[in-house]
Amino acid sequence: MDKGKAEEYVGSEKLYADIQYTMQQAAYMNSGWRSEEDVRQYLRKITGHDIPDDVRVFTPLHINYGPGVTFGKECFLNFGCTLLAIGGITIGDGVFFGPNCVLATEYHPEEPSKRHQLLTKPIVICRNAWLGANVTVLAGVTIGENAIVAAGSVVTKDIPDNMVAAGTPARIIREIKR
């Protein structure tokens, strides 16, 4: 969704209905043991997009807006991930998420009188990136191809291709070893 449309959509009845549908389907998906194929079928309903047959998601998966998420091939999301996706989340081929990762495309203005406004920026996780356990990625961030984000990091800025980042806020610590 382009930025102009996203800003118009925030606060609309259509968005509210889509969020309610997403949360309902996610609750069904998370309500007991599901086969990998069952989870992919729920994700197809939730996102309205094709989900490749090699995508693996360990539930529970918490998601507020399914149409905002696209999955590449051979993705893996471990237990307890949260996708706040009104701004759009693109997950590239071969991406791995450790348990309890949070991707938040939504944020609020700092100014107290405007803090109830909801703003969005997309998140892009490029091919073969790996997010360790408990990584948080904030709105507007792109994580580059093959990048690794260490467990517990909070990513506030883009991570270039082939780099390892760690910390809060996440900083580049070195290039990927070849």
Which residues participate in catalysis according to the annotation?
108
Beta-sheet strands, E only, within 53-160: 56-57, 61-63, 69-71, 76-77, 81-84, 89-91, 96-97, 102-104, 106-107, 119-120, 123-125, 130-131, 136-138, 142-143, 148-149, 154-155
User: Residue 9: in which H helix or E strand, if any?
Assistant: helix 3-9
Tokens 């996203």, residue located: 6
Q: Write the CA distances from 57 to 4, 84, 97, 156, integer angstroms.
A: 31, 16, 9, 25
Cα 88 to Cα 1: distance, rounded to the nearest angstrom: 7
CA 97 to chain centre: 9
Q: Give me 138's structure tokens.
A: 């904030």
User: Residue 19: in which H helix or E strand, if any?
Assistant: helix 13-29
